[in-house]
Structure 1
């Protein structure tokens, strides 16, 4: 386990070796006072007088030993913390590099709570192992072994007598480790589930309150916390009995050693001075051995946390290359595409082409595969079979950065950072001037948004853009895509929350843009795509039919049904709202 972490330490191992050495010396000095006590007791039982100078020497040695113990302990932990934070930094950097190469779909499927737990909580918890458990654990174990060997060398009978409770304590120790480890998987999984549930609950709190669903969703929230509590208590309950036996057995040395040892001394089978010395040494064992047990929870948890980290690190990265785009056109071709999600086929041997200079629309009922095709084009996932080409180049040969230059993607799940509107739009082109940003914002009908804000385009939008409405957030994301000025524009329900008047103006602007670009649109409002040069109707991951709006009204029953539903939803009015 420790070797796995040392792999990330690279050239920083010197710090931990120094820390271990200093902690060993620190623990060694902590035993010196017990040896001084032995000298005092030995002198007392042998009727030797105490001189002032002798007592001063004993007191000075104890004081110096305690000072050195503290100094070395602090310095050792200083080195171990430097080592720990260097390793944590490298772990996070490695994880960040890995996340950049992973499918975005993988991160979304895992859940924000799980990824946050791995990236923040689990890595942070390794600080306890690296900065404390390793140097202190090794030091306490080393000194304990040294003391045990010393006792056996001084007098093997008294030494064994001092250790008579150790087999029981060690059995309890290893049994506790075994039982605790068997419960750790449930405990760790419950923690991940609780993290995901908490983040989901917080993110969805507004919707939950609006639709008066506090009871249902707060119930899930409480259930995840109670489940975590139950798994935590189950883990501790499994360990408590063994932990108690371990602690008692190491503290019970005197109960066995003093009566039997006294008998041996009185029967002249052992020396009193040796009994006193071994008793002092045995007493000194308690602190380091009990210190060892304090690291057991961290040691049992850390293995699962390393496995969770390695699970991310070992995940198959996206198939990407280092090619630059050299195509002569920006036609997008899905060639015999198949894709499955968790063994469920979502797209089946689908082939279609979106031509440059045209608007291509994808329509279909929910679950037909529309959004999946969009995510495959922007390389959220690798295709299971077939290829996606821009021009004549497979997107798997392009780097994600190169692909990002070619495609502007506006999804139905809009996201704004807690920055100004200007900065959020400028993400599309960080080098753009404020004038260029304003032009893109005007084309996306964002100017009315600025007029209602005291700081205009410089207004901070809040976390996830919470200070704006859904339609306003979508318009800003469309402005971001327009500013990027990519040759391929991919809109996945990008105008779902935009009012009819602004939708009409934006659609006109996008139509003008499509004359020089490849435009792919996914929409439920079919009036937004009725002027598209090519419309593909999807059904269960296949193309049911393709053509223009008028062709499909005559040829496709699915399209007719979708069109009727779209018209009814747009013409719907509450009862009593009719006039005349």
Structure 2
């Protein structure tokens, strides 16, 4: 566990070593008063004469040691926290880099709540390990061993009596650790499920209200919270007796020492000085021992969380090269591509080509693999076999930056950041001038959007662009594509959820954007792809047929059914309509 985390420490290990040393000094300072107490008591019980200044010196040493203990402890604590937060920063940066390199599908399968929990709560919990458990745990353990050796050297019989409760305490702790570990997987999974449900409930609040589904989704949200509560209580109930056992027994050194030690002294088998010394040393063990074992239940949870972090860090990343584009043209080819979501085949040995300067349409029923092909092209996933090329060059040879510069992806699901419209458009080309951003907005017919907004193009759009309509968000997405001006344009049902008036406007804008580019279009509405130079009919992840609209209309029963259904839906109107 420690090695897994300390590999992120970089050059900060020196700070950790200093904090461990300071923690050891602090504990030694806390034990010295017990030794001074022994000297005073020893003189009293052995009727030794104490000179006038002895008590004053003893009291002064105790006072100074207590002051030094706190000062050194705070300095060490400060150093260990600086070390801890530097490591947490390194872990988060490494996790961010890993997430950026992972397939989007992996992140979606994990869920936003799980990723957020790992990024925030799980990594934050490691702070306790780094800032407290390592420096204080090591120092408390070392001092405990030193004190035990001192007790045994003073009188081995009395030392063993002082340690008589340790086997019971250790057994209690081991039992707690074993039982707690058994419950940990369920407890952690319940926490992840609760996080995912909370985020889903909050994000979907508007839809829940509109469709009056408060009961169902609140019930799902509440059930996950109750399940998390139940798992937490179950773990607590299973371990509370063993926690109480080791907590009491680790501090019960006097249990056997006082009665049997007193008997040995009365029989002159042991000296009263040694009994007092061992008693003082045993009493001083209580604080470091309790501090030491207090870390252990938390370490059990942290160990599980570190394993979850390591699972993400060790996940197979996308195959990404670092080459520039050297293709001879901008033709896009899928060559014998196979891809599955988990064990569900989606693309099955599929081959197709989209030529430069032409529009290639992908048509098929839901689940036929259309959107998956789009995501494979922009390298959200690696195909399980086969390859995807641009101009003959495998996209896995390209850097993500190079591939991104080649393809503009306009999806049906437009995501806008909670920034101004201006900044959201500029995402298409971060180095663009203000004039270039405004020109792209004009080409995408966005000026009418700005007219009714309080700050025009500089209006903050809200989380996920909630202040804008679907058509407005789509035009901003197209403005990004204009600004990016990539040679390949990928349209994934870009007008699927747009009303008729907005659709006409967006179709005109897209036609302008598509000039002289390699265009791949996925569309629900077949009238939008009728004029495409090449149409591929997909069925269960395979190419059923391809050709122009006229060619496949005469050859493909699937396309005939889709086309006739599209015509009927266009002709349909409510009763009473003109």
Q: Give the TM interval when normalised to the shorter protein.
A: over 0.9
> Which whole-Å CA distance do the structure 1 matches of 2:495 and 2:372 have between them?
18
> Which whole-Å CA distance do the structure 1 matches of 2:554 and 2:218 have between them?
49
Change in 2 beyond 3 A, CA 1:33/1:493 = same
Alignment of 1:233-312 (within 5 A): 233-312=233-312
- Please say if residues 254 and 279 of structure 2, whose CA atoms lie closer than 8 Å, have aligned partners that are also in contact: yes
Please, which moves more after superposition, 135-144 or 98-107? 98-107
Equivalent position of 2:474 in the other structure: 474
Equivalent position of 1:419 in the other structure: 419
Equivalent position of 1:125 in the other structure: 125
> Which whole-Å CA distance do the structure 2 matches of 1:95 and 1:20 have between them?
28
Alignment of 1:22-41 (within 5 A): 22-41=22-41
2:452 is the counterpart of 1:455 = no
Q: TM (normalized to structure 1)?
A: 0.96
> Which whole-Å CA distance do the structure 2 matches of 1:534 and 1:256 have between them?
91
Equivalent position of 1:351 in the other structure: 351
Equivalent position of 2:205 in the other structure: 205
How many residue pairs get aligned? The number is: 578
- Alpha-carbon distance, 1:407 to partner: 0.1
> Which whole-Å CA distance do the structure 2 matches of 1:569 and 1:67 have between them?
85
Change in 2 beyond 3 A, CA 1:156/1:516 = same
> Which whole-Å CA distance do the structure 2 matches of 1:117 and 1:158 have between them?
50
Equivalent position of 1:538 in the other structure: 538
- Alpha-carbon distance, 1:572 to partner: 4.9
Q: Secondary structure at the match of 1:251?
A: coil
Alignment of 1:135-154 (within 5 A): 135-154=135-154
- Alpha-carbon distance, 1:52 to partner: 4.4
2:76 is the counterpart of 1:76 = yes
> Which whole-Å CA distance do the structure 1 matches of 2:116 and 2:566 have between them?
40
> Which whole-Å CA distance do the structure 2 matches of 1:515 and 1:474 have between them?
19
Equivalent position of 2:3 in the other structure: 3
CA deviations over 1:258-310 (Å, ceiling 9, x no partner):
11111111121111121111111111111111111211232101222221121
- Please say if residues 436 and 483 of structure 1, whose CA atoms lie closer than 8 Å, have aligned partners that are also in contact: yes
Instruction: Please tell me the root mean square deviation across aligned C-alpha atoms, in Å.
Output: 1.7
- Please say if residues 445 and 502 of structure 1, whose CA atoms lie closer than 8 Å, have aligned partners that are also in contact: no
> Which whole-Å CA distance do the structure 2 matches of 1:515 and 1:471 have between them?
22
Please, which moves more after superposition, 526-535 or 46-55? 46-55
Q: TM (normalized to structure 2)?
A: 0.97
Equivalent position of 1:552 in the other structure: 552
- Please say if residues 417 and 462 of structure 1, whose CA atoms lie closer than 8 Å, have aligned partners that are also in contact: yes
Change in 2 beyond 3 A, CA 1:142/1:579 = same
- Please say if residues 359 and 533 of structure 2, whose CA atoms lie closer than 8 Å, have aligned partners that are also in contact: yes
CA deviations over 1:330-389 (Å, ceiling 9, x no partner):
111111111111021110111111111111111111111000000000000011111111
> Which whole-Å CA distance do the structure 2 matches of 1:242 and 1:467 have between them?
56
- Alpha-carbon distance, 1:569 to partner: 4.3
- Alpha-carbon distance, 1:394 to partner: 0.9
Structure 1's unaligned 5+ residue stretches are none
Equivalent position of 1:489 in the other structure: 489
Please, which moves more after superposition, 60-69 or 548-557? 548-557
CA deviations over 1:399-424 (Å, ceiling 9, x no partner):
11100000000122211011100110
> Which whole-Å CA distance do the structure 2 matches of 1:275 and 1:469 have between them?
83
> Which whole-Å CA distance do the structure 2 matches of 1:472 and 1:414 have between them?
10
> Which whole-Å CA distance do the structure 2 matches of 1:219 and 1:409 have between them?
37
Alignment of 1:84-95 (within 5 A): 84-95=84-95
> Which whole-Å CA distance do the structure 2 matches of 1:531 and 1:51 have between them?
110
- Please say if residues 472 and 498 of structure 1, whose CA atoms lie closer than 8 Å, have aligned partners that are also in contact: no
> Which whole-Å CA distance do the structure 1 matches of 2:255 and 2:143 have between them?
23
> Which whole-Å CA distance do the structure 1 matches of 2:95 and 2:502 have between them?
42
- Please say if residues 365 and 539 of structure 1, whose CA atoms lie closer than 8 Å, have aligned partners that are also in contact: yes
Please, which moves more after superposition, 533-542 or 443-452? 443-452
Please, which moves more after superposition, 132-141 or 566-575? 566-575
Q: Secondary structure at the match of 1:536?
A: strand
Equivalent position of 1:326 in the other structure: 326
Please, which moves more after superposition, 233-242 or 343-352? 233-242
